[in-house]
Amino acid sequence: MGLMDSFWAICLHVDNWVTRQIERLWPKWTFVNVVMVVVAKYTPIAMLGLFVIAAADVIGGTSDERMTFFRAGSAIVAAVVIRLIHEPISRLLARPRPFDTEPFQPLLAHDPGDSFPSNHAGGAMALACGASGLSGYHTILLVMAICLCISRVYCGLHYMSDVVVGAAGGICVGLICANLAASLAWW
């Protein structure tokens, strides 16, 4: 067994352990369950809404509209790029979701399908990090993205490693796009 196989075996063991521990909390933490379902279901919409508000600041007039426009655009590009990167990886690896292999129903209804890497985690982090130059909005988007990542695992829709890898990819792509946008805006 190679080093990579050993690494994935450890990841699978940790993923299964975390999933079982979270599932044990569900009967005890009804309020937390409701909050996590709401976060998992509506945070992507709320993030997009907040992003539209941030983009409206460009139209409303700021001291540096061109820079704000490039920063807002970089966040959108980052979210699209990470989805384009994740999709073939998901199809290639075809890792089932926790509720497809474990004997439980997730807190939030979801179709079976590929789980690794998490597109929600990647897209949310790419959007938040791509918007790193949008003062006043970046921190809120980042907190929302982190909450979304946690909720996807808590609700049983993803294993922890799905979300960690998805988020890491989103962070990398988001920061690259934000830096490229900053460079282009100065031309």
Residue 53, helix vs strand vs coil: helix
Cis preceding linkage at 96, omega within 30: no
Residue 185 vs residue 109, higher pLDDT? 109
Q: At what angle do helices 138-154 and 160-185 cross, to 10 degrees?
A: 160
Confidence of residue 183 (pLDDT cuts 50, 70, 90): confident
CA distances from 109 to 53, 65, 106 (A): 30, 42, 6
Whole-structure pTM value: 0.86
pLDDT at 151: 96
Least confident of 3-12, 62-71, 118-127, 137-146: 62-71
Sequence spans of domains, the chain: 60-97+115-187
- The per-residue pLDDT for range 31-85, each reduced to its tens digit, is 999 999 999 999 999 998 887 777 666 545 555 666 667 777 788 889 999 999 9
Share of the chain above pLDDT 90, in %: 51
State the Cα–Cα distance between residues 181 and 142, nearest whole angstrom.
Answer: 19
Most confident region among 3-12, 83-92, 103-112 by mean pLDDT: 83-92
How many beta carbons lie within 10 A of that of residue 87, not counting itself? 13
What is the pLDDT averaged over residues 97-105? 87
186: tokens are 């100065």
What is the pLDDT averaged over residues 132-149? 87
State the Cα–Cα distance between residues 38 and 4, nearest whole angstrom.
Answer: 36
pLDDT at 9: 85
pLDDT at 137: 81
Which of 94, 93, 155 has its CA nearest to residue 121? 155
DSSP conformation letters of 166-180:
HHHHHHHHHHHHHHH
Q: At what angle do helices 138-154 and 3-25 cross, to 10 degrees?
A: 90
Least confident of 11-20, 132-141, 160-169: 132-141
> Which residues, at least 6 apart from 107, have a Cβ–Cβ distance to it below 8 Å?
26, 33, 36, 37, 40, 154, 155, 156
Q: At what angle do helices 138-154 and 119-130 cross, to 10 degrees?
A: 170
